[in-house]
Amino acid sequence: MAIVVQKYGGTSVGDVNRMKRVADRVARTHRAGNQTVVVVSAMGDTTDELVGMAEKISDLPPGRELDMLLTAGERISMALLAMALHALEIPAKSFTGSQAGIITDGSHGRARIVDITPGRISGALDEGNVVIVAGFQGVSHDTKDVTTLGRGGSDTTAVALAAALGADVCEIYTDVDGVYTADPRIVPDARKLDRLTFEEMLEMAAQGARVLQVRSVEFGRNHGVPIHVRSSFSYQEGTWVVPEEDIMENAIISGVAHDTDDAKVTVQHVPDKPGVAADVFTALGEANVNIDMIVQNVSEDGTTDISFTMPHADVHRTRELLEGLAREVGARGVAIDDQVAKVSLVGAGMKTHPGIAAAMFKALSDAGVNIEMISTSTIRVSVVVAATDAERAVRAIHDAFDLSATPVEVS
């Protein structure tokens, strides 16, 4: 008997009728003889609405209580879907992340899964149930408090469970029919990819293609779980994310991703001497802030500006720390610009094809987009631009590399 894990995102379970449609789809999978585990997100914009309520009550809600609140969204979905399956005479049982054995560390709002003990899930499957698990949540191994896995975390619940159960496939049902060469909402002629490698998907996800949460792709890669991203509104094949050895030919470019969740921080006029960067980034690391791009400019008076990007969401809680740090290292001050976006071109073929970065910068210049920062990896080129330029930049790059057309392949 095959084990299938399916994950349905917020739009797919957005109202009661959609929930019933999902139940029909799950019922088919169950009736076809599969052991079926379903991970659900909160309905529609529930998570945003819950965050909005918390923010109206407090500027900085305690992480523990925020997680308690947000996990409720997924619990609503899991119980309703179980009821919808019962109405179709399919035995089904729902479980919270904690009941499902999803054990995490204690970082509220961004917890990492450290272990999965899926005994109750296996038991319920063996009794012939469809098992429904609330996405995006777990329980801390030391405090025993409920945690959440970060926005988009239901993808990670699904792939991690698929890994723990040895599932044959993890299907991610969403509101687009697969992974595209760019966000299809911004580039209407973006092309759906049939397949891409974990490495390429990891890079696309890390650079903001929010169709899969980054950590879900890491789980897939580390445990060899094939991921099939597809639409919950059709029966068409979607996009398969698979190991490199399963792809005969690689496209040079996979796609363009963009991310508006980062802010650019500049520590201004820092004395140009050894140890300053170490001090700044050690303090940020200790505050659990993920730094992305870093650029240092030398000015004429023997001082430097250190600029870096970090998540918007962390700016508020680290502003005082940054200002304190600036004073300590003798800098003039700190400037924070949250109206920026990161636009990235991703492709495994870049390793062997020179000139990709140059062509990307030319496309941006032709579109009149100013580049504020640049960073690269072996399979990516990223730039920071003004937020107002982001969509234009994505379209210009997509056009310049002709990504709507069937790709030129390299072996």
403 binds ligand ADP (CB under 6 A): no
Q: Which does 175 bind (CB under 5 to 8 A by kind): ligand ASP, ligand ADP, Mg ion, none?
A: ligand ADP
Task: Report d(CA 91, CA 128) in Å as an integer.
Answer: 7
Chain position whose Cβ is nearest to Mg ion? 152
254 binds ligand ADP (CB under 6 A): no
Distances 40 to 48, 78, 111, 124 between C-alpha atoms, Å: 16, 6, 18, 17
135 binds Mg ion (CB under 5 A): no
Chain position whose Cβ is nearest to ligand ADP? 9
Task: Report d(CA 158, CA 137) in Å as an integer.
Answer: 11
Window 48-87: contact mask with ligand ASP (x via CB under 6 A): -------------------------x--------------
**Out of 112, 210, 223, 312, which residue is the one contacting ligand ADP (CB under 6 A)?**
210
State in angstroms the smallest separation of the CB of 148 from ligand ASP. 8
SS3 label, residue 60 = coil
Residue bearing tokens 């698990």:
133
10 binds ligand ASP (CB under 6 A): yes
**Out of 209, 241, 293, 379, which residue is the one contacting ligand ADP (CB under 6 A)?**
209
Task: Report d(CA 256, CA 239) in Å as an integer.
Answer: 16
21 binds ligand ADP (CB under 6 A): no
Q: Which does 109 bind (CB under 5 to 8 A by kind): ligand ADP, ligand ASP, Mg ion, none?
A: none
Under 8 Å between Cβ of 391 and 186: yes
**Residue 315, φ and ψ in degrees, nearest 5:** -65, -45
Alpha-helix residue ranges (DSSP H) falling in 32-106: 46-57, 63-87
Q: Return the number of the residue (152 or 347) whose C-beta is nearest Mg ion.
A: 152
135 binds ligand ASP (CB under 6 A): yes
**Out of 95, 136, 180, 308, which residue is the one contacting ligand ADP (CB under 6 A)?**
180
**Out of 27, 66, 179, 340, which residue is the one contacting ligand ADP (CB under 6 A)?**
179
189 binds ligand ADP (CB under 6 A): no
Q: Which does 135 bind (CB under 5 to 8 A by kind): Mg ion, ligand ASP, ligand ADP, none?
A: ligand ASP
Q: Residue 355 is encoded by which pair of tokens?
A: 């000139």
Task: Report d(CA 69, CA 67) in Å as an integer.
Answer: 5
Task: Report d(CA 121, CA 115) in Å as an integer.
Answer: 14
Distances 133 to 5, 169, 283 between C-alpha atoms, Å: 10, 16, 38
Binding segment (CB under 5 A) for Mg ion, from list 8-16, 28-36, 47-55, 321-329: 8-16
How do 3-8 and 35-40 pair as beta strands?
A: parallel
Q: Which does 153 bind (CB under 5 to 8 A by kind): ligand ADP, Mg ion, ligand ASP, none?
A: ligand ASP
Q: Return the number of the residue (149 or 396) whose C-beta is nearest ligand ASP.
A: 149
Contacts 24+ apart (CB under 8 A), 402-409: 403/181, 403/182, 403/190, 403/191, 403/253, 403/255, 403/256, 404/181, 404/189, 404/190, 404/191, 405/191, 406/191, 407/251, 407/252, 407/253, 408/251, 408/252, 409/249, 409/250, 409/251
**Out of 21, 75, 151, 392, which residue is the one contacting ligand ASP (CB under 6 A)?**
151
Site for ligand ADP in 118-157 (CB under 6 A): 152
**Out of 97, 118, 152, 238, which residue is the one contacting Mg ion (CB under 5 A)?**
152
Task: Report d(CA 213, CA 198) in Å as an integer.
Answer: 12
73 binds Mg ion (CB under 5 A): no
Q: Which does 239 bind (CB under 5 to 8 A by kind): ligand ADP, Mg ion, ligand ASP, none?
A: none
Count of residues touching ligand ASP (by CB under 6 A) = 13
Q: Which does 176 bind (CB under 5 to 8 A by kind): ligand ADP, Mg ion, ligand ASP, none?
A: ligand ADP
Calculate the CA dihedral of residues 358, 364, 369, 371 and round it to 10 degrees: -30
DSSP 99-126: TTTEEE-S-TTS--EEEE-THHHHHHHH
Q: Residue 127 is encoded by which pair of tokens?
A: 């009794």
Instruction: Tell me which residues touch ligand ASP (CB under 6 A).
Output: 9-10, 41-42, 47, 73, 135-136, 151-155
